[in-house]
Amino acid sequence: MPVFREVLAHAAATPHRAAVRYGDTTRSYAQLARDAERARPDVKPGTLVPLPDGDPVAQLTGLLAADAAGAVPLACDPSWRPEHRRALLEPLPDVVDEAGAHDLAWAGFTSGSTGRPRVVVRSRSSWTGSFTATSRLTGVTADDTVLVPGALSWSLTAFAAAHALAAGATVRLTGDWSEPSLRAALPSCDVVHLVPHRLAAVLDARPERLRTAVVGGAALGTALRGRAADAGIGVVAYYGATELSFVAADPDGAGLRPFDRVEIELRAGEVWVRSPWLAHGYLGDGGPLRRDGDGWATVGDLAEPGEPLVLRGRGDGAILTGGATVVPEDVEAVLAAVPGVAGVVVVGVPHPGLGQVVAAVVQGDGVRRATLEAAARAGLAPSQRPRRWSAVDELPRTSSGKPARALVADLPTRPLR
């Protein structure tokens, strides 16, 4: 969390200004700085510090405390079961940045199942360097209250909170994406960070004070932008990835254009990016991030040629659902271990609010949906769990014997019961 020094500066200049609110809890900048200083871990710089479960204020304080120590905070999803959390953390090294050589400041999970942790790490400058451009884009100032729903384990959420604190604004946390939490917090907020499927709920609430909705994580439909405009709410949509940070933004409905200091290049339809905002890389197992020798990187997203940027999903079959990236192989590995499953293919299917949802196509005699759902709850994060289930008599196979994912869409299926 690369903002501890900014919090200290705000604590000195405006000690009584509210820094963070969650439910009935409020911490001023002076209190937040004091609490983070007291919680500073006694570790070497570059040490990976998994944050304890707790309310969002405690997690945010822990992030700042780790930053104060020069450590690398790792926020875990509070919805994970203890055994899932242990399986993700055990393979990770204790020290990830020897002597601060890379100035790493944040680590977060982007996808992965029980046996395949996928943790992205980034430098301080890859976030703080973009704060000025983000302020111009969103209009956030020290006079604003910024609603940041969701868990701080998301890069979207963690960045939004970090930027708001650096600006001296008040961060309003909810800890989840539930509609009741949003509705309760909205009346006091000027700006909100969202994924598209929650923008409709915000508009339904008719917030009088809200000025701007910053929307990322999936494509935003023109109908929602039009509804927001009718309500007097500006919408800033953007495209990015945990590994790439901001790539392109659309503040006016004219389409996605490159974010500040970002170069975009299409190679055979694949989006490649070069910018100062790229993440450092992964801990543990690798992921979709690829680089070339000239500073360009990609996560495999596809786009139409021309400008503005029009995205067409992931070339590797990754599923973008409600702002989360789900790798099909991670889900398949958990479901394939269920007794009786002879084969399984996981795909994304369109959804009007979430962009896509996870769907599983299963081959196996006598396999029950309830059994598979139990396995998914035990071994997968909420975003990875299939929402739709279907069965087939025989999955198509490649020459190597693997299920042929590209052919599944044309198969006759039946509901899995």
For residue range 307-364, what is the model confidence (pLDDT) as tens digits?
999 887 666 677 888 877 787 878 888 898 898 888 899 998 888 878 889 999 999 8
Q: Report strand pairing: 343-351 vs 355-363.
A: antiparallel
Predicted confidence (pLDDT) at residue 116 exceeds the cutoff of 90 = no
| pTM of the shown model | 0.80
Q: Which CATH superfamily, name and number, covers 4-314?
A: ANL, N-terminal domain (3.40.50.12780)
Q: What is the CA radius of gyration of the chain?
A: 21
Q: What's the pLDDT score for residue 4?
A: 95
Q: Tell me whether the omega of the peptide bond preceding residue 308 falls within 30 degrees of 0, making it cis.
A: yes
Predicted confidence (pLDDT) at residue 400 exceeds the cutoff of 50 = no
For residue range 48-72, what is the model confidence (pLDDT) as tens digits?
999 877 789 999 999 999 999 999 9
Confidence class of residue 394 from pLDDT cuts 50, 70 and 90?
confident
Q: Which CATH superfamily, name and number, covers 319-415?
A: ANL, C-terminal domain (3.30.300.30)
- Lowest-pLDDT range, 17-21, 85-89, 128-132, 195-199? 195-199
| Neighbour order of strands in the sheet with 245-250 | 25-28, 18-22, 170-173, 145-148, 191-194, 212-215, 234-241, 245-250, 257-258
Mean pLDDT of the chain: 89
Q: What token pair was written down for 183?
A: 């509705």
For residue range 132-153, what is the model confidence (pLDDT) as tens digits?
999 999 999 999 999 999 888 8
Burial class for 9, CB neighbours closer than 10 Å (0-12, 13-18, 19+): middle
Predicted confidence (pLDDT) at residue 266 exceeds the cutoff of 70 = yes
b (16+ CB within 10 A) / e for 94-130? eebbeeeebbbbbbbbbbbbbebbbbbbbbbebbbbb
* Helix segments in 258-361, DSSP class H: 328-336
Predicted confidence (pLDDT) at residue 233 exceeds the cutoff of 80 = yes
Do 302 and 269 touch, CB atoms closer than 8 A? yes
Q: How many CA atoms are closer than 13 Å to the CA of 87, on its beta-carbon side?
A: 14
Q: Which of 139, 161, 138 is nearest to 22 (CA)?
A: 161
Give residue limits of the domains in the chain.
4-314, 319-415
